Amino acid sequence: MAVGFGKLPGGKSPREMLGDFISGEPQERFTDFYESCRFLEEHPIFDDGILGSAFNVYLDWDAVKVNPLTKEVDDDEAKNTETRVWLECGPLIKVNDYEKEFTAYPGQAEEMRKIFPDGQPSVDHRLCCGAPTFEEAIVRLANLVFTYYGEGK
């Protein structure tokens, strides 16, 4: 389920829940869509350790209409006149890291190993972003991955 589709639990919008994660400015290393795609597909945070890049599998995206003044989906649908593409993704949680990552209850790591034997997709809310077009959103995402995870080589 992607962040940003209307109101979240507690009645807050994604922007209210994520604050600076959505509005924060990434480093501007990428400006080209093609270069951004290659960077994301080759970045080790998306490497599943079996087939290579899982970026295209774990990228969650949606095209929405938002209120141009707030960049959020307004309850009054007539105000939602601007198209935005919202992206959500995160590093693949490797099977070997399950004990460290899944600690909510005893046996959770083993349960996750049965459900996701090759690794669990995650969402890093610092990478949640959007733009008027898919291409612009991918460029923004590449810059966020570079900002928070580095070059990756």
Map out the domains of the chain as residue ranges.
25-148
CA-to-CA distance for 26 and 147, rounded, in angstroms? 6
pLDDT digits (tens, 9 = 90+) for 32-70: 999 999 999 999 999 877 778 889 888 999 999 999 999
CA-to-CA distance for 110 and 35, rounded, in angstroms? 38
Q: What is the pLDDT of residue 25?
A: 62
User: Count of CB atoms within 10 A of residue 100's CB?
Assistant: 10
Q: What is the pLDDT of residue 4?
A: 39
pLDDT digits (tens, 9 = 90+) for 93-142: 887 888 888 888 888 888 888 888 877 888 899 999 999 999 999 999 99
Among residues 148, 153, 127, the alpha carbon closest in space to that of 44 is found at 153
pLDDT digits (tens, 9 = 90+) for 7-33: 444 555 444 444 434 445 667 899 999
